[in-house]
Amino acid sequence: MGADPTGPVRSLRDRMPPEIVAAAQRLADEAPPFTPEQIAKLRVLFAPTVARLHRERAERGPAPQPVEKEKRVPGEELTPAEVAREFNVSPATVRRWEASGVLKPTRRLPNSRHRRYSRATVDALRRQLAEGGEGSLT
C-alpha cells in the first residue's frame, strides 16, 4: 500500500473504528478458524468501513507511478564515486574539490543531492593536476 499524501502510512487496523477492531478481536479469540456465522458477522461489521476506504482511495486517484531511473551513457556524465575512482581519491575529496570551486558539477538531479560531472570537466581537472601537481588543488 502506498503512502497517503496527507500523512504517514497507517495500517488498516489503525483506520478502523475501535468498536469494530474490538469486535473482530473478540470473534478471533473465540475459536479460529472462523465459522460461516462469524464470517458473516465480520462482513456486516466491516462493510461500511471497507466502503469508506474504497471511496477514499478512489478520491485520491491512482497511485503515483515510480519515477523512471535516469538513463545515461556511461562515461559522458560521472557520479562523484566514479570521479573518485578515476583519481584514486575518496568521494569526500571530490566533494571538497567541489566546495572549493576546483570541480563544478554540470548538473544536480532534481529534488535530490545527486550530482553529475561532465567528462570534459573531469579531463580538465586531470590536465590541471598533470601540469601543476597535487599542490595546485589546495
- Helical axes 80-87 vs 91-99, angle rounded to 10°: 100
Span 120-133, average pLDDT: 84
20-41: pLDDT as tens digits? 888 878 877 765 677 888 888 8
Whether 70 is covered by a domain: the verdict is: no
Based on the domain organization, do 56 and 82 belong to the same domain? no
Whether 43 is covered by a domain: the verdict is: yes
Whether 45 is covered by a domain: the verdict is: yes
Residues 95, 104: contact at Cβ < 8 Å? no
Strands (E), the chain: 77-78, 107-108, 115-118
CA distances from residue 15 to 10, 46, 62, 72, 129 in whole angstroms, order as listed = 7, 12, 20, 43, 61
Based on the domain organization, do 55 and 100 belong to the same domain? no
* pTM of the complete model: 0.44
Based on the domain organization, do 56 and 94 belong to the same domain? no
Show the domain range for 34. 12-60
- Assign residue 38 a region (left: φ > 0; alpha: ψ between -120 and 50; beta: otherwise): alpha
Q: What is the pLDDT of residue 136?
A: 56
49-104: pLDDT as tens digits? 889 988 988 888 877 777 666 666 666 888 889 999 988 999 899 989 888 888 88
Based on the domain organization, do 81 and 133 belong to the same domain? yes
- Which run of H or E residues covers position 24? helix 18-30
Q: What is the pLDDT of residue 64?
A: 75
- At residue 72, what are phi and psi to the nearest 5 degrees? -135, 150
pLDDT above 70: residue 116: yes
Based on the domain organization, do 55 and 83 belong to the same domain? no
- Taking the chain, what is the end-to-end CA distance rounded to the nearest angstrom? 51
pLDDT above 80: residue 10: no
Span 112-129, average pLDDT: 85
Of 132, 118, 117, 125, the closest CA to residue 87 belongs to 125
pLDDT above 50: residue 1: no
Largest CA distance in the chain: 86
